[in-house]
Structure formats: structure tokens, C-alpha cells
Structure 1
């Protein structure tokens, strides 16, 4: 199971890195063309925007896994150890419910926007809005993978090698 989790985290990280790299290449090429030829790629800004949307939603689960989201710990800090565990369990439950709700909302957005086309790329907005249910589904998976450790200890010690797998994907 740990191996599967490491592969999942590494793959998620590699996709986020690939999207960021694509954004940098597209924007860099557009800037270079604009200053060297006085012409730019008409689709570059739009593509970079949609890639950023996808990167944000796909990277949210990784940020959750490593405690990168905002946390206010005043109440948590004044509770007893048992109270802290109960509070963390409630937080996990509320997050799961919220993430599931957002998957549902994202699917509705996809359905409503499927016939609209983006101005420059002429893609269906379905592909843009798909980032929302996919990203929140990944958040659910990441949360379920770390929930037990988070509830017990109040933090998540990443699976052995998971961080190395991501940095390895970035370097290799």
C-alpha cells in the first residue's frame, strides 16, 4: 500500500511539475516572439491561464498532504490531547464532506459549460472546468491517505520516500 501511495504522490507531483514547465515554456516563447518579431501567440495567455487553473487544483492535494494550507490553531492548542484528536477527526470529516460537495458542484459546472468554447483555443470549457472535480477528487484521496496519522498525531509524516519521489521526478 505504501508503494502505491508513493507512486500516486510522485505521479501527482510530476504532473504538477509538467504543467508548470509547460506554462513557463508557453509564456517564455510568447515573450520571446513578441520582442524579437513583434508578433505573439494569440493563444498563449489563455493556455497559460487554463494550465494554471489545472496546476492549482492538481497541486492542492499535495499542499494538503504537507500542511501547506492555512491553519488557525488557537482552539486546537488549548484542548486536551483527546480533545485535539476529536477536533482533528471532525476537521477531516468536514473536509471530506466539503470536498465531495465540490466534486458535485464541479461536475455541474462541467455539464453547464460543455457547449461553450474558449475564445482563442476553441476548446470546450468542459476541459477547463474538469479541473475542479478532478482536483477535489485528488484532495479526497490525499486526505484519506493521511487522515489516520493526522488524527492521531496532529501532523502527517509523509510516506517514506514520497518527497524524494517528487524531487526525483523534478530532477529526472
Structure 2
């Protein structure tokens, strides 16, 4: 199971690196074209914006693994051990519920935007909005993978909790 988790995290990270490299090339080309050529490509701003949206949602799960999202851990850590475990179970259930709800909302919103097309690329906007349900599904997978460690130790960063 640990090998599958490592492969999943590595693949998620590789997709982010490739996406960021792609977005950097597009933005760099656009800046160069604006100042050195007679005209810049009209599609570059859209590609950069939509890449950033996708990268944000694709990277949220990796940030969750590292405890990089905003959290208030002091109150939880001040409790006795059995109460900490109960609070952590409650937190996990709330997070799973919220992520599942956001997948549903994202799919609904994506379907509502299926007739709209982007201005420059003429791409159906549902593919841009698909980042939301995909990102929250990834968040659910990452949360399921780190849940056992979180129940034992919370979001404390350690070599044992760090996969990758």
C-alpha cells in the first residue's frame, strides 16, 4: 500500500511540475511577444489563467498532506489523548463530507457551464470548471491515505508522515 501511495504522490507532483513548466513557457512567450514582436497571442492569457486554476486544484491534496492549509491545532493538542482522537475523527468526517459536497457542486457547476465557451480558445468552459471536482476527488484520496497517520499524530510534520 505504501508503494501505491508513493507512486500516487509522485505522479501528482510530476503533473504539477509539468503543468507549472508549461504555464511558465506560455507566460514567458507571451511577455516576450508583447515587447519584442508586433503582437502577442490572444490565447496565452487564457491558457495561463486556466493552467493556474487547474494547478491550484491539483496541488491542494499535496498541500493537505504537508499540513500546509490553515489549521488551528493548539486547541486540539491541548486536549487529553482520547479527546484528541475523537476530535480528529470528527475533523476527518467533516473534511470528507465537505470534499464530497464540493465534488457534487463542482460537477453541477461544470454541467451548467457546458454551453459557454472561452473567449480566445473557444474551449467549452466545462473543461475549465472540471478542475474543481477533479481537485476535490484528489483531496479525498490524499485525505484517505493520510487519515491513519493523522489519527495517530495529527498534522505534525515528520519523516514518517512525509511520503514522497
Partner residue in 2 for 1:128 = 128
Distance 2:113 2:154 in 1: 40
Partner residue in 2 for 1:158 = 162
Distance 1:37 1:138 in 2: 40
Shift of residue 102 of structure 1? 0.2
Partner residue in 2 for 1:57 = 57
Distance 2:13 2:35 in 1: 33
Distance 1:89 1:149 in 2: 12
Partner residue in 1 for 2:91 = 91
**Correspondences of 1:1-172 after superposition (within 5 Å):** 1-155=1-155, 157-159=161-163, 162=164
Distance 2:154 2:60 in 1: 19
Higher alpha-carbon deviation: 32-41 or 141-150: 32-41
Which one has the bigger helix percentage? 1
TM-score of the aligned structures, taking structure 1 as reference length: 0.90
Cα RMSD after superposing both structures: 1.0
TM-score of the aligned structures, taking structure 2 as reference length: 0.94
Structure 2 unpaired stretches of 5+: none
Please state whether the residue corresponding to 2:16 is helix, strand or coil. helix
Deviant stretches of 4+, over 4 Å: none
Shift of residue 104 of structure 1? 0.2
CA offsets 1:84-139 (integer angstroms, 9 cap, x no match): 11111111110000000000000001110111100011000110010000000000
Distance 1:56 1:11 in 2: 16
Structure 1 unpaired stretches of 5+: 163-172
Shift of residue 27 of structure 1? 0.5
